[in-house]
Amino acid sequence: MASRSLSSIRLNVRLSASLTNTLDDATTAAVSHPTLNYAPSLSNGVSVSQANRVWQSDSRSILAGGQEVIDIADFAAVDIGAGAGNDGVGLAITLEEIVAIGILNENAIGADGQLEILPASSEGWAALGTHTVANGGALYGQGLLFKAQPAEAGFDVTAVRHRLTFRAVGGTVLYSIFLMGRHDDEESSSSSSSSSSSSSSSSSSLSTSSISTSASSISGESSSSSSSSLSTSSLSTSSSQSTSSQSTSSQSTSSSSESSSSLSSQT
């Protein structure tokens, strides 16, 4: 048996700018708006302000006019490199609640291809909302959709609400998806044991890194804003799994560690 846990969990969203109004007599009025610094404290676990599961998939490609559906309950048909339905360290993953989700259109700003995000037509997950070209919510290149819910309920994932549809409109889209959530089972089996064998397991850890974006200053006829930045630091994962050993009669095997790296992207 092997157990997984999260460490160094960070969830940060920051909006900041300095708005200045310069009058005809050269006097100025300034204010720091906006000043959002959202950084809830999170720890490993399955209750309020906790998470124990993470998953991400980078640079997924959808051809213009195409779509794909992802089951965010068990990711059964998705292989991110460690086996279909597995997380970054090769353990089967099931989510019951979403604590945070980020979706990024990786296309360059100005490039063709808008990303639509909506509940699937069957067993659709509606907590994220519907973001389409028709309602103005589709993501252009470098557009980011982010939502967080550290409350104990999180964003519920159920047997009848667990599938998201992603569509590319007007051009091919590369996109990435980042998830942090919970499942009540703290342990997941990664090895089996037989009689007369002994095994030891140590915790594997996952840590979140970040994605960030920055916005430039804005100025008008008689007002200017400077020093503006938007950084969304959230949701990439790095994972390490320690070795587990089994011995039966005269045979022994050891499992190696594997890790998943972080993603960072800037606009």
With a cut of 50, list the residues of the chain below it in pLDDT: 187-267
User: Which distant-in-sequence residues (6+ apart) come within 8 Å of 27 by Cβ?
Assistant: none
User: Which distant-in-sequence residues (6+ apart) come within 8 Å of 18 by Cβ?
Assistant: 30, 31, 32, 225, 226, 227, 228
Model confidence pLDDT, tens digit, residues 70-113:
999 999 989 999 999 999 999 999 999 999 999 999 999 999 99
Residue 184's pLDDT is 85
Q: Which residues of 125-150 are buried (b: 16+ CB within 10 A; e: fewer)?
A: bebbeebeeeeebbbbbbbbbbebbb
Give pTM, 2 decimals.
0.71
Q: In angstroms, rounded to a whole number, what is the distance separating the alpha carbons of residues 53 and 206?
A: 9
Q: Output the CA angle 97-150-211, nearest 5 degrees.
A: 95
Residue 220's pLDDT is 42
Q: Output the CA angle 187-211-136, nearest 5 degrees.
A: 105
Structure-block tokens of residue 239: 């994972």
Q: In angstroms, rounded to a whole number, what is the distance separating the alpha carbons of residues 211 and 145?
A: 12
Residue 126's pLDDT is 98
Please identify which residue in the block is written with the tokens 């070795």.
243
